[in-house]
Structure 1
Amino acid sequence: MSRIVEGKVVVVTGAGGGIGRDIALAYAAAGAKVIVNDIGASVSGEGGDAGPAQRVVDEIRAAGGEAAANTDSVSDAAAAQRIVASALDHFGRIDVVINNAGILRDRFFHKMSVDEFDSVVKVHLYGSYFVSRAAATPFKEQNGGCFVHMTSTSGLIGNFGQANYSAAKLGIMALSKSIALDMQKFGVRSNCIAPFAWSRMIGSIPTETDAEKARVERMKQMTPAKIAPLAVALAADSAADVTGQVFAVRNNEIFLMSQPRPVRSVQRGEGWTPDTVLNHALPALKGSFFGLDRSSDVFTWDPV
């Protein structure tokens, strides 16, 4: 791997395993100094263990790289400030933030508790905001920086039993676009990746039916290491003009995902009434309606 991020300092949240670990290792191999953040919690967010973050740090150091561990939670604003401060304290600057930390508490919407909704949104959406906001000040002061946020096709397209996760992940896409717009004048860029990869979180997907079992077996082919090349490339100086975009990575495929835009319109010079909406507008627009698709309904072919 070429050292395309030589000397840069990157914070990778949720880097004790899975996608985050592989991104942290890839950044180190490409020349970056890495803050490996992970609280060591379960997939659903319980518990805490400093071991996972430190083990990844040890891997990086054993390979000749520079890294330090951090076990603060992204879901707390003060703790997020400490995550960013850890980069400044250890390496004197911060250049890249990878917002990867997450949990799952899947439940059908009509059964989902307030805590199940709140906890997932707090880690994914608030966590991405808290860490990004903490890094925004040094990025602005140094006139440069790069955010890479993990979104999901569960939010971009849809999925069963994940209203909490889907809402958070679609919110992250909007957060990233807003950061890109607001901070472009300071040389700061912000992009999203929707990863397809086997991980602890994906491993918690129910496999009660043959279709669900087959889907999980396909997912196992897509290793977390497949996400890392794009995550590293987005921080390279040669990608300085790439911002406000949403990508997906599925095994050896990289997709540029669409963003909401008008599809079709109707108008009446005299304005609308409920009756004319029902008799004119909705029938005219119906041909362009979107179905109740899930991610697996859109990505129907086997990964290459």
Structure 2
Amino acid sequence: MSGLMDGRVVIVTGAGRGLGRAHALAFAAEGAKVVVNDIGVGSDGSATGESPGEQVVEEIRAAGGEAVVNGDDVADWAGAENLIRTALDNFGRLDVLVNNAGFLRDRMLANMSEEEWDAVIRVHLKGHFAPMRHAISHWRAEAKAGNPVDARIINTSSGAGLMGSIGQGNYAAAKAGIATLTVQAAAEFARYGVTVNAIAPSARTRMTVGAGGEMAERMAPPEEGFDEMAPENVSPLVVWLGSTESKDVTGRVFEVEGGKVSVADGWRHGDVIDKGDRWDPKELGPVVEKLIAGSQPPTPVYGA
């Protein structure tokens, strides 16, 4: 039986556990050859000495698929370049890059350290840009050489990045950056035959199981029936976005949870009041009040 991803080569970062593992297995089940990237760290980025990526590769091979493991740090420039090279050296091509790797250092902004800020921004935001930058270098060279390119990048944002999340300012800022980076890259990469989209998933992973309160209740697996928070629910959309069928979809951010899929609308220009001259500060109170009254109220920050 043919699969949606037959003949395509996919890189999934952070693919040793959770969403990344689910994506890698789902791509392989549809016929893709998969590079499973994972450096084996804890949910806070600390070293564990484990090799979950190897286990995912073994699962794929046991099911009759093709996969190799890569242990590079995606936020390291040379590591990200080697990640792309791993796909090319092992499978001769690259068609899809799924940026998924990340970890948390949650803390209220008033208490957050510089290291906690830098670490999360690095792994999420730079960890998306660096692999994307080396992948587009390859695809651009292919396009300029006259070779057909029909490639995909799928980034991982978050509801925290779209709406904000109390106690996760570093994570929310990084994920918001990823959403905008997605739109930016989609505009720049289209000329080379590359689409760029993002997902904002809600699922049970190591980064969500430690949450408390209402979030903990939502993430708890049900005793019976459909498990809405299973990470495997997110992967079908990611696989479809990586397929040739999605060639006309780019620059979009999709929210996905359980069986629900929606398109998240980003910032848009609002109503304008134009004086035709420079404003006096004392004039602006009623102006701002009128603009806000005519606009949609923002979605509340998670946890607020």
After TM superposition, the score normalised by the length of structure 1 is 0.92
Displacement of 1:93: 1.0
1:224-303 correspondence to structure 2 within 5 Å:
224-278=231-285, 280-287=286-293, 288=295, 290-291=297-298, 293-295=300-302
1:130-169 correspondence to structure 2 within 5 Å:
130-143=130-143, 144=149, 145-169=151-175
Counterpart amino acid of residue 94 in structure 2: I
Q: Which deviates more, 47-56 or 113-122?
A: 47-56
Percent identity over paired residues: 40
CA contact (8 A) 2:197 2:250 kept: yes
CA contact (8 A) 2:26 2:235 kept: yes
Q: Provide the residue aligned with 2:7 in structure 1.
A: 7
Q: Provide the residue aligned with 1:119 in structure 2.
A: 119
CA contact (8 A) 1:38 1:50 kept: no
Whether 1:192 aligns to 2:195 is: no
Displacement of 1:203: 1.4
- Relative to 1, partners in 2 of residues 1:203 and 1:181: Cα closer, same or farther, differing over 3 Å? same
- Distance, in Å, in 2 between the alignment partners of 1:36 and 1:58 is 11
Q: Provide the residue aligned with 1:302 in structure 2.
A: none
Deviations 1:103-158 (A, max 9, x none): 00000000000000100010000000001011111111333221000000101011
3-state secondary structure, aligned to 1:116: helix
Equivalent residues, number: 293
Q: Provide the residue aligned with 1:180 in structure 2.
A: 186
Q: Provide the residue aligned with 1:301 in structure 2.
A: none
CA contact (8 A) 1:39 1:48 kept: no
Displacement of 1:275: 0.6
- Distance, in Å, in 2 between the alignment partners of 1:170 and 1:8 is 29
Displacement of 1:235: 1.6
Whether 1:203 aligns to 2:206 is: no
Counterpart amino acid of residue 176 in structure 1: T
Q: 4+ runs of 1 displaced by more than 4 Å?
A: none
Displacement of 1:50: 5.2
Displacement of 1:48: 4.5
3-state secondary structure, aligned to 2:15: coil
Counterpart amino acid of residue 291 in structure 2: L
Q: Provide the residue aligned with 1:300 in structure 2.
A: none
Q: Provide the residue aligned with 1:52 in structure 2.
A: 52
CA contact (8 A) 1:266 1:284 kept: no
Displacement of 1:39: 0.3
3-state secondary structure, aligned to 1:61: helix
- Distance, in Å, in 2 between the alignment partners of 1:259 and 1:268 is 27
| Long gaps (5+) in structure 1 | 298-304
3-state secondary structure, aligned to 2:195: strand
Q: Which deviates more, 265-274 or 223-232?
A: 265-274
- Relative to 1, partners in 2 of residues 1:212 and 1:94: Cα closer, same or farther, differing over 3 Å? closer
| Long gaps (5+) in structure 2 | 144-148
Q: Over aligned residues, Cα RMSD in angstroms?
A: 1.8
Deviations 1:199-248 (A, max 9, x none): 0011122x2x4x45434438974111011101010121121011000101
